[in-house]
Structure 1
Amino acid sequence: MSQVLSNSGRPVGPPRRDLIHLDRQHGLMLYQHCVVGACPARHPDGRHLYVVAPDEHLPDGRVRTARPPVRSAHAADYARTVPGHQAVLARSPAPSGVLGRLFEATATGDLRAREDGAERYVAYSDHDTLRWTLTSQLVRDLNDCELVDDLDPRSEPSRHARRLRLGPPLTRREGRQPVMTTPLPERTLLPGPPYGNVRNALRELLVIERSAPGASTAVAPTPAQLTDLAGQWVKAAHTCAADMGSVTQRARWQTMITAVETRQDAHASAGTDVPALCTALRDLLLAMLEYSRLEPPVTGISDYLRSRIADGTCPPGSPLGVARIAAELRLAPVSAVRVKLALADLEAEGVVESTSNGIRVTGTPAGRMERSVQVAQWLRTLIRKGVYPPGSALPRVADLARPLVTPIPVISSAVALLDDEGTVRSGLGVRAVVVQDPGFAVAAPLDLTTVDRRLTLAGWAGSDTSPQRVRETCRRARSWWHHRIAPAPGRVSHTHRTLTSMAARLIPAAHAHHQPHQAEATMRRAAVTALTPQPEVPQEQLWRTACLAAAVLELQELAGDAA
């Protein structure tokens, strides 16, 4: 925008890119669009490029800024208009707060600016201050920041070098731990035939294949040119396979080499299936073409993933998607096969496992309880809170699987633990019953006619509790747990309080329609799940929130049309 106006009142002169209209700033920061072109500014690895001022750095290594991101194509020109700023590639899950002026009510009921009237940062979590703030700009907290050394793509000699050159992880002062603790694997040229030679061999094979019989079942004497080409590259493939450190990659290459050798017998009396030999040789050459690219080796990717699992960056149960890892390592699409081979090596070691939902990290983290012990402890809490008082029967194991968002075998193990310690009595084909003296004090059951007041105080005031919003919130909370997704900080607690407000509205409606013992136990379980303090372990917080989401869905079914 310009600060110079013409006689007609229109802005003229060179633009001032360090200034921006408030409405434009809100839209660009909300959708993370480029400040220059107002187009998506997402980097290929999922991050965004920001040009920030030195005073926007926080002591913990994050950057708090109200400046929208910029596309890499516009970054060099934009940075020249704001001298003294730094370019960083960073992640920003969601806006963290706003800039605005604080107001307060006077004795006459009017509003006046508080303090000196200057703008200040107000976090979204500060609800008491936020309601008295006249906001002007959105603010984001940037994580995983990396300095960008060079923004000008014209200084690079080739298109492959036009990617942003990244400096070391951004830190405020020397000695502070960087945000990224695991360095990316280095790109190396592996020993083997050059890329151009392999590409020329593919072209030569294409000429031979065009002159071969068209039918895949055609049998004819092998052309001498094809025999020489296959023999030359099979020998080169054997040399490359011998130097491979990845067991899975070596086995894959041995399979392709064997496929060529079995079809290469030029002295067979019946002849050779020439199209099949061409196909097998082409697959081998394509693998060698990818092998000759300047990318991290399979062993380097395996070591990188193994380090991220060891330092807790990828906790047990977290998904490992091939496309996501390839984007994180900035691999070319054709080299994503290296990630698959690295994951196969880790699966052979038992570090990861293949499930119906993809590949996940295996194992149990140190200090975390086994799932059956965790479920048994939560069932013990429900008994202690009066949801299942002494003498009452627990729901069937199959009926507990849905509200506890846990597989049936784990529920069975948890009930067996309670039986061993004498809290319940169970038998084959018989529902578990809480004993009269479980060994700890049992509180009186919650009063369902007044518990909604406690839930209202514990939840968010003014939350949207429409049926559609209830289903969306419950689906999101359960999806976090099923896929072991780590949401942004504070997102889980916010969702938990939102579900608490929904339970406060649904319990009176459900109690008015259903009053049998089983329905009352469902309502009390939902109330206890909402009012019990959240655990400190993040994964247990996800599970507890998923349990509350399942309980809210049950309340919605009980409330029926009243919901």
Structure 2
Amino acid sequence: MTIGVSRIRSQSAPAVARSAERLRLSAEYWVPVARDLCITAAAGSRADKRRWDGLIASAGSNRSAKGFTDLVVWNGSLRELLQAILDSTRPDTPTVPDITEQITQAITSGRYPVELVVRTSRIAEDLGVPRRLVQLAVSDLAEAGTVVARRHGILAVDHSGPAPGAVYVATRIRAQIAAGIYPPNTALPTTKDLANLFLCGVPLLTAGLRLLADDGLLTLHDAQGGAVRAFVARSLPHSSNTVSADRETSTFTPEQISATTRKAQTQWKLRTPVPATTLHRQWMELRAMIRHALSSRVTPVDPLPEWDLAVARATEVESAPLPGPPWLGVWHTACLASATSRLLAVSEVPDDL
């Protein structure tokens, strides 16, 4: 068996050498072309410069091939280099700095909200560019401190003041404390549970809690896994958020409620832009659904704590105003839809509300 392997190796050596020579000649021709393109294509992008350097090093003519496996790897490296050269010479291919500028403008305009994760796949779709170029732009933005790179996306940051998302969380929790949902000297739910209620990530939720702690309304204690646990430090003037039975009424079927709540939450999950008039109509409709769910409910004989909480939370979010920024409005409407779903899940309601 050893003799057979040795014979095969000796017979294949000339073929490997001939193939390696062809690859070396190709590399000698294309690597200088790549170096020239790198000067212009990667100008202004450290991440793209590192990419080109890596491609050139992997496909370099100074490589050696001792067997077919080395040939396959070398050939693959040359193919990647040639593909990069082809892509960079296409007139419709934007540079990484161009993509970086477009992402920055989207953050500034609020299209990609501060402190909320936006997936790179969505950015690539929005801009109509390859995802790999978006990833290079994200690397440059992360080095500049404009964003924090996540596994599948970016988290835009704003060093000029509190993030609007954190302010929104703080405002809502403050209103819930004033409504008596969280009395003084009691613990709030865990950050994970609160994040689920607010349909956001734990980091953003924690940022909102820290704003309330800075105001002295909460005290924060370290918990397991680097999380925090919040406790209400003092009371606020009680706000009687009650649902008025005198407002205009409508009838909704369970199917209508399900479709409306699902649509609102999907819009937020996908970060879908919604026209202002459509968003306001959804907000008004969901508020009407909460009012009628409460007015038409069949209250349990012995109300359970989750029922009381669902009613209190639904009442609070129903009475909250619709935020001005469009993305905050989409978020708030999704929270309203979530509260509606939770309320119906713990109550018995007629077939038609």
Structure-1-length-normalised TM-score: 0.49
Q: Which amino acid aligns with 1:505?
A: H
> Structure 1: any 5+ residue segments left out of the alignment?
1-214
Residue 349 of structure 1 is matched in structure 2 by 144
Q: Which amino acid aligns with 2:104?
A: R
Residue 378 of structure 1 is matched in structure 2 by 172
Residue 359 of structure 1 is matched in structure 2 by 153
Note if 1:442 corresponds to 2:238: yes
Deviation at 1:523, TM superposition (A): 0.7
Q: How many residues align?
A: 326
What's the CA shift string for 1:314-340, capped at 9, x where partnerless?
44347353542453xxx6xxx675445
Q: Which of 277, 299, 303 does residue 515 from structure 1 map onto?
A: 303
Rate the CA distance shift 1:387–1:223 in 2: closer, same or farther, 3 A.
Answer: closer
Deviation at 1:536, TM superposition (A): 2.7
Rate the CA distance shift 1:228–1:534 in 2: closer, same or farther, 3 A.
Answer: closer
Q: Which amino acid aligns with 1:324?
A: E
Alpha-carbon distance between aligned partners in 2 of 1:480 and 1:384, rounded to the nearest angstrom: 30
**Conserved 8 A contact 1:474-1:552:** yes
Residue 491 of structure 1 is matched in structure 2 by 278
Alpha-carbon distance between aligned partners in 2 of 1:322 and 1:445, rounded to the nearest angstrom: 40
Secondary structure class of the residue paired with 1:559? coil
**Conserved 8 A contact 2:268-2:330:** yes
Note if 1:555 corresponds to 2:321: no
Alignment of 1:42-53 (within 5 A): none
Q: Which of 60, 79, 96 does residue 298 from structure 1 map onto?
A: 96
> Structure 2: any 5+ residue segments left out of the alignment?
1-11, 224-228
Rate the CA distance shift 1:392–1:404 in 2: closer, same or farther, 3 A.
Answer: farther
Alpha-carbon distance between aligned partners in 1 of 2:157 and 2:345, rounded to the nearest angstrom: 37
Q: Which structure would you say has the larger RCO, counting Cα contacts within 8 Å and 6 or more residues apart?
A: 2
Deviation at 1:391, TM superposition (A): 5.8
Q: Which amino acid aligns with 2:178?
A: R
Secondary structure class of the residue paired with 2:153? strand
Secondary structure class of the residue paired with 1:533? coil
What's the CA shift string for 1:34-60, capped at 9, x where partnerless?
xxxxxxxxxxxxxxxxxxxxxxxxxxx
Aligned-pair identity (%):
23
Q: Which of 310, 316, 337 does residue 528 from structure 1 map onto?
A: 316
**Conserved 8 A contact 2:147-2:156:** yes
Residue 19 of structure 1 is matched in structure 2 by none
Deviation at 1:394, TM superposition (A): 5.7
Secondary structure class of the residue paired with 1:478? helix
Deviation at 1:530, TM superposition (A): 1.0
Alpha-carbon distance between aligned partners in 2 of 1:277 and 1:392, rounded to the nearest angstrom: 66
Q: Which amino acid aligns with 2:125?
A: R
Rate the CA distance shift 1:392–1:507 in 2: closer, same or farther, 3 A.
Answer: farther
Q: Which amino acid aligns with 2:237?
A: A
Q: Which amino acid aligns with 1:292?
A: T
Rate the CA distance shift 1:497–1:252 in 2: closer, same or farther, 3 A.
Answer: same
Structure-2-length-normalised TM-score: 0.73
Alignment of 1:428-507 (within 5 A): 432=231, 435=234, 438=235, 440-444=236-240, 446=242, 451=243, 453-454=245-246, 456-457=247-248, 462=250, 465-507=252-294
Alpha-carbon distance between aligned partners in 2 of 1:272 and 1:403, rounded to the nearest angstrom: 53
Rate the CA distance shift 1:381–1:257 in 2: closer, same or farther, 3 A.
Answer: same
- The structure with the largest strand share of the pair is 1
What's the CA shift string for 1:303-322, capped at 9, x where partnerless?
34434444555443473535
Note if 1:235 corresponds to 2:32: yes
